[in-house]
Each structure stands twice: as C-alpha cells, then as structure tokens.
Amino acid sequence: MKPAFRKSFWFTFLPLVLAVYFLGIYPTQHRMNQCNKAERILKPLIAANPRFIRVRVVRGIPDTIAIGGNLQSESDLNALKQLIEDAHLPINPILCVKISSDTP
C-alpha cells in the first residue's frame, strides 16, 4: 500500500467509526446505564417500606423501568409517587399499580 492511500484511509475510517459510536452505540449504552442506576435506587427503597410489599420494579425491553403491583389505598399510591419523586431518578419510570382493598 502506498503511504498516501494509508493516510487517506485512516483520515476517512476513524471519523466514520467515531461517528457510528457516538450516534448509535453511546446513546443506547447511556440509557441502559441510567436504567441500571434507577433500578439500584428504587429496589431497596420499595423493599424497605411494608406498604409496598406487593409492588415490583421491572426492567423493560426498550431500556425503561416499570413499577407495578397492588396497593391497599390511595394514600399508599401517593406515598409511592412521593418516594419516586424524592429518589431523583435519572429516568422517569412507568407507574402501573392497582388499588385493591382486599387483603391477602
């Protein structure tokens, strides 16, 4: 290979690789790291409160966090919303809970 070709190859190839990384791979990896961090924050907080014994934190497929389960009253729902707000999560979780008054 000639030195001129080698030089032009690297000046073309490296910017292309960097563009693919920063436009395609990096945002996905960043979002996945945010989901991991949110999950690590939420799971212990929810497990520590006995009112949220039937509530689960689940990772979604497109890098989302879902909080689902059953709560006993509207005040428990408000407390869960406040807990999520006070946690200062890097992403907003999807909240899908059912309020049921029957006990197990």
Give me the mean pLDDT over the 67-83 stretch.
Answer: 94
User: How many distinct structural domains can be found in the chain?
Assistant: 1
Q: Give the residue numbers spanning the domain of 44.
A: 3-99
pLDDT at 53: 92
Say if 76 falls within a structural domain. Answer: yes
| CATH number where 28 lies | 3.30.1340.30
More confident residue, 41 or 101: 41
Residue type (1 letter), 13: F
Say if 63 falls within a structural domain. Answer: yes
Give me the mean pLDDT over the 60-64 stretch.
Answer: 81
Say if 66 falls within a structural domain. Answer: yes
The string of DSSP codes covering 4-45 is HHHHHHHHHHHHHHHHHIIIIIHHHHHHHHHHHHHHHHHHHH
pLDDT at 103: 54
Q: Give me the sign of the Cα torsion angle 92, 94, 99, 104.
A: negative
pLDDT at 32: 87
- Structure token digits, residue 56: 């689960």
Query: How many residues are there in the chain?
Result: 104
More confident residue, 44 or 101: 44
Is the pLDDT score of 3 beyond 70?
no
